[in-house]
Chains A and B, each alone.
Chain A
Amino acid sequence: MKILVGLKRVVDYTVRVQVKPDGSGVAIDGAKMSVNPFDEIALEEALRLREAGKASEVVVVSIGVAACMQQIDTGLAMGANRGILVKTEGAIQPLTAARVFAKLCAKEQPDLVILGKQAIDDDANQTAQMLAALLDQPQATFASKVEVDGNVARVTREVDAGLETLEVDLPAVLSVDLRLNTPRFIKLPDIMKAKSKPRETIELASLGIESGDHLATTQHAPPPKRQKGVIVKDVPELIAALKAKGLL
């Protein structure tokens, strides 16, 4: 069984992103870049499936500018077998990403595609569902538990009402939630070992897909600021403050 995993290059989750004063975008030049946290979890799950003998090959894919090779490097150091960089001029939107993945799936024929539930830059939460639609395959999103048994995956999903379990026939597309696993740390020898692993670069244009970048962003604004509040000195003052606001 082959597993394809998406690794999106995003601004590290510890960076406090701010809007540029002129509203033309966000000030992220020189910011620390990382693998999207959900995608590390996706990769960890794929590696565990391989280590459990359920999968034989894990391929990591990043779509974006040339520097995304760093995220492929991270994925290979974590343990993926090989990496594919689909090179673009700049950021792409989820439908385009899904179309790229669909092309790669046609070529690679994976039994499972595991993506993050959302990229922490665009917070779109779309790509996995779109890919599953384009492939007419099952989707199990927001996974917090994955069990593969032959041609079937049993996936527990974190939904608003609680935990839902689905059974999907493979091939299928999964998106993962935070509690699925804790990704492993990379050790120095892993980085050395990864140096010789195969890396392939494909130009986006060579895939011949129609762009799904339909949304034009016309303005960036900072979120509305909340007024700074008061610090009360004890519980009676807290109760008085709540009563004054009519909340108790």
Chain B
Amino acid sequence: MSKILIIAEHLNGQLNPSTAKCVSCASKITGASIDIAVLAADPAAVAAQAAQIAGVARVRTLANAANAHALAVVYAPQVLAIAGEYTHVFGPSTTFGKDLMPRIAAKLGVSQVSDVMAVVDAHTFQRPIYAGNAIVTVKAPAGRTVVATVRTASFAAASGGGSAVIEAVAMDVPLPTHTRFVSLQQGGGDRPDLQTARVVVSGGRALGSAENFQLIYDFADKLKAGVGASRAAVDSGYAPNDLQVGQTGKIIAPELYIAIGISGAIQHLTGIKDAGTIVAINKDAEAPIFEVADIGLVADLTKAVPELMAAL
């Protein structure tokens, strides 16, 4: 039987929805028993949230002052201390999981399955390569721990209403001090989180300046939407880096994605393949974004977006 450990992602006492998505992925493995590990300085609040995810057997807390910030080098030895009890160790394919999980895999001497999109069986998974231009089926060796990151856009969050037991793990492993947290400059603000928002409005190079990008924020606020951006918009300084959508930014799956002044480069499209409905507004009828858009409007954004806002 599969015993799966999921490493919880959290910030400021809030469990990240990526954790429930990992549970959803893990529950696709027939007969799996699923535990969540919460590493934190004070794990109580996050553990209580994790315990409510349906399908979770146990939440194991690893309290340590050194866990105040999610440093991969500090988390890894603690996860490794309990990893031997499991057949699988999963984390989300967010910057948190991408940073941490390979460090665990290497210490276990196994390859990592990155960005699991679908579970075929306990050792067989589907994942994207070449910016999502190909989906491969990969088989991890039987009899070795499976370490994987879960592509959160491919799984709906497991529902709430669970009541897993919470157990503290006593642990005394040496933790390195060679890596120190200095600061976290958070973007965001009050807008819905890009990775979980139902609607996302994204702007591209066509916005032309940071001032003009305000139009995207205003439109998004009107729709209570999250805000995204193409790499060109981020590189040009119109939008902060944490808004980048795509192969090297965030992979998202909102119900509605509205791309404004974005050409639709393959690296951008790979980030929105799982979106429900894609709307594109672009003045170039030949722009590749129209090949994937469900609804396209060939128009100048400086006219179309204000008109849309006025009509809503």
Contact = CB atoms under 8 A, between A and B. Distances in A.
Task: Indicate whether A and B interact.
Answer: yes
Contacts of B124: 218
Interface in A139-161: 139-142, 144, 154, 157-161
A217 B138 contact: yes
Interface in A214-244: 214-224, 226-232, 234-239, 241-242
Contacts of A247: 199, 255-256, 277
B71 interface: yes
A159 B243 CA distance: 10
A245 B299 CA distance: 21
Interface stretch (A16-24, A72-80, A104-112, A192-200): A16-24
Given A123-B130, A161-B184, A179-B235, A94 B99 contact: no
A20 to B, nearest CB: 9
A121 B107 CA distance: 24
A160 B295 contact: no
Contacts of A19: 133-134
Nearest to A131: B106
A99 B296 CA distance: 48
Given A141-B99, A218-B137, A232-B295, A239 B308 contact: yes
Nearest to B250: A160
A166 B183 CA distance: 7
Contact of A126 (B105, B131, B279, B308): B105
B140 A215 contact: yes
A139 B101 CA distance: 13
A232 B105 contact: no
B172 interface: no
Interface string B256-273: 100000000011000001
Contact of B241 (A117, A131, A163, A241): A163
Interface residues of B, number: 88
Given A133-B107, A160-B94, A17 B102 contact: no
Contact of A158 (B76, B241, B312): B241
A87 B181 CA distance: 38
A184 to B, nearest CB: 17
A116 B279 CA distance: 33
Contacts of B256: 242, 247
Contacts of A139: 72-73, 99, 103, 179
A122 B294 CA distance: 29
Contacts of B210: none
Contact of A129 (B99, B111, B297): B99
Contact of B231 (A17, A132, A162, A178): A178
Interface in B135-154: 135-141, 144
A166 B295 CA distance: 43
A186 interface: no
Given A235-B297, A239-B311, A26 B183 contact: no
B131 A166 contact: no
Contacts of A183: none
Given A178-B248, A212-B109, A214-B144, 8 more contacts: A19-B134, A121-B130, A123-B128, A132-B103, A141-B99, A162-B188, A219-B137, A239-B308
Interface of A: 11, 13, 16-19, 26, 93-95, 98, 117-118, 120-127, 129-134, 136-142, 144, 154, 157-169, 172, 177-179, 210, 212-224, 226-232, 234-239, 241-242, 245, 247-248
29 contacts: A18-B134, A95-B111, A121-B130, A129-B103, A131-B106, A137-B178, A138-B176, A139-B72, A140-B179, A142-B99, A159-B95, A159-B184, A162-B186, A163-B185, A164-B185, A165-B184, A178-B231, A179-B241, A214-B111, A215-B139, A217-B137, A220-B136, A221-B134, A223-B128, A226-B292, A227-B294, A229-B296, A230-B296, A239-B308
